[in-house]
Structure 1
Amino acid sequence: MEVDRESMNRCGGNTSDLEEEKCSDNDFGSSVLGTQEYWENVYQRELETFKDIGDVGEIWFGEESMNRVLRWMDKAKIPENAAILDIGTGNGAFLVELAKSGYKNLTGIDYSAASVELARSVLLAEDLTDVTIKEMDFLNCQGELKGFDVCIDKGTFDAIILNPNNTEEGKRLYVKALRAALKDQGFFAITSCNCTQEQLADRFKEGFELVQQLPTPSFQFGGKTGNSVTALIFKRVV
């Protein structure tokens, strides 16, 4: 359930260095990009394409978004046996890169049945048979996810805030599920095209500590500097 950056950027480029111009958590309108039906259709098409020509589909936010988190994991000395959860795994491309980087305890979840089938197919094609893939809605996982050292999100939270139904409840359930899934002192890496650092820090202030902001591409417009995406690392605290 990852999200196309160009389709979902609603914040005018995330000019997060200007406090007075940051958009609030309520500035996002609803969108089909926040619906399960949309993503089921997307991944059904990508699944059919993969079966036809072996193309895994789009890597949301690009390969650099994966490399950015992998570099942080290396610097943070995340052990190879760390339990890692990919929230909204999509086509499983990030799981492939994590496995190729030596990580051995990997789980990916997505609420799209087509996504799950696609991710399993992609991993099998790479001869990666020890990765766990589950069809599961993160907001309604009923405590099934727990004990993870690292949780990773590239766009799933973005989709949740665009859901036309029960947006506030969705955001609340996301934070609750994340707290339940992570071990104490576990890390949460999030990449967002819609939210500024300030918005994300405020959303995850209950039970999480902001550790660092990862460098992302910046731009200048009208003498102001901003970032097209925001990438943050949080730590779960009591």
Structure 2
Amino acid sequence: MTEETEELPSSKLGTKEYWDSAYNHELSNYKRNGDIGDVWFGEESIERVVTWMLESALVNVQSSVVDLGCGNGAFLLYLQVDLINDEDKEKIKTSEFDVTHDKGTYDAVSLCPEDPKSKRLSYIKAVHRITKENGLFIITSCNWVHHELIEHFSEYFSKEHIIPTPTFKFGGKVGTQVTCIVFRKVSK
């Protein structure tokens, strides 16, 4: 992060307590009536990423994928394919992944009331550490635009692809509700 980024205003959405409470509530709802709860940024956001992964030569069925801050697991439901039996699952101990996915977790970290800049940097370093060499990091954000995310992650990742998202026009300006970028890990 070479350029000074203006921090976002803090929010309860930036606290672990908020998310623990929210997902405990969603888990209770799921147990009662099978409702998985809110799909942050909408199902279209998940479908865009999954479609890109399916069509990209950079990802295949053997690629290991981790969904950071997976919340209610909505993204993972799109990826679910049971290719191995339960005995084999116990042998899997992956600490690095071919694809690291984030849909809103960096946004939540950015809203942390206590020292968000250092929390964001720690998050970026952790993502770099768990992403395999030449691996991909796919992020969907509603708080940051393309150039800001590219700047934030530039020391550890290079931009590979921008996944197009719907645009809207307001007050003569064109914008998007979310930004989605595929980064490639760079060696440190």
TM-score for both structures, normalised by structure 2: 0.88
Q: Does 1:210 align with 2:162?
A: no
Q: Tell me the distance in 2 between the aligned counterparts of 1:180 and 1:69.
A: 22
Q: Quick one: which amino acid aligns to residue 35 of structure 1?
A: T
Instruction: Show the 5 A alignment for 1:176-187.
Output: 176-187=125-136
Q: 1:55 aligns with which of 15, 18, 35?
A: 35
Residues 130, 225 of structure 1: alpha-carbon distance in 2 compared, 3 angstrom cutoff: farther
Contact kept, 8 Å, 2:7 with 2:117, in 1: the verdict is no
Q: Does 1:90 align with 2:39?
A: no
Task: Find the aligned partners of 1:197 and 1:91 in 2 and give their Cα distance.
Answer: 26
Kindly indicate whether the alpha-carbon contact (under 8 Å) linking 1:86 and 1:152 is maintained by their aligned counterparts in 2: yes
Distance 1:33-1:227 versus aligned 2 partners, 3 A rule: same
Name the SS for the 1:38 alignment partner: helix
Paired residue total: 180
- Structure 1 residues 130 and 94 mapped into 2: Cα distance closer, same or farther (>3 Å)? farther
- CA distance in 1 between counterparts of 2:7 and 2:67 reads 27
Query: How far did residue 129 of structure 1 move?
Result: 10
C-alpha contact 2:7 2:110 (8 A) present in aligned 1: no
Contact kept in structure 2, 1:33 and 1:39, CA below 8 Å: yes
Structure 2 residue identity aligned to 1:30: S
The one-letter code matched in structure 2 to 1:81 is Q
Unaligned runs of 5+ in 2: none
Q: Deviations over 1:142-198 (max 9, x none)?
A: xx9732100000000000010001211111111111111011110010000000101
SS for the counterpart of 1:226 is strand
1:64 aligns with 2:44: yes
Counting only pairs closer than 5 Å after superposition, residues 108-187 of structure 1 correspond to structure 2 as 146-187=95-136
User: Compared with structure 1, are the counterparts of its residues 131 and 85 closer, same or farther at alpha carbon in structure 2 (3 Å cutoff)?
Assistant: farther
Letter in 2 for 1:52: R
The CA RMSD over aligned residues, in Å, is 2.2
Question: Which residue of structure 1 lines up, in the alignment, with residue 145 of structure 2?
Answer: 196
Whether the aligned pair in 2 keeps the contact of 1:145 and 1:181 (CA below 8 Å) is no
Closer/same/farther in 2, CA of residues 181 and 41 from structure 1, 3 Å limit: same
Q: Structure 1 runs of 4+ off > 6 angstroms? A: 128-132
Distance (whole Å) between structure 2 residues aligned to residue 88 and residue 177 of structure 1: 13
Q: Deviations over 1:189-230 (max 9, x none)?
A: 000000010100000001211011111111101221111110
Contact 2:139 2:182 in 1 (8 A): yes
1:76 paired to 2:53: no
1:147–1:181 contact (8 Å) kept in structure 2 = yes
Work out the CA distance in 1 between the residues paired with 2:21 and 2:149. Answer: 29
- Unpaired runs of 5+ residues, structure 1, are 1-23, 106-127, 133-143
Q: Distance in 2 between matches of 1:162 and 1:149?
A: 28
Could you say what secondary structure the match of 2:95 adopts? coil
Provide the rounded CA distance (Å) in 1 between the counterparts of 2:34 and 2:143. Answer: 31
Q: Indicate how the Cα distance of structure 1 residues 42 and 205 shifts in structure 2: closer, same or farther if over 3 A, else same.
A: same
State the one-letter code of the partner of 2:54: D
1:32 matched residue in structure 2: 12
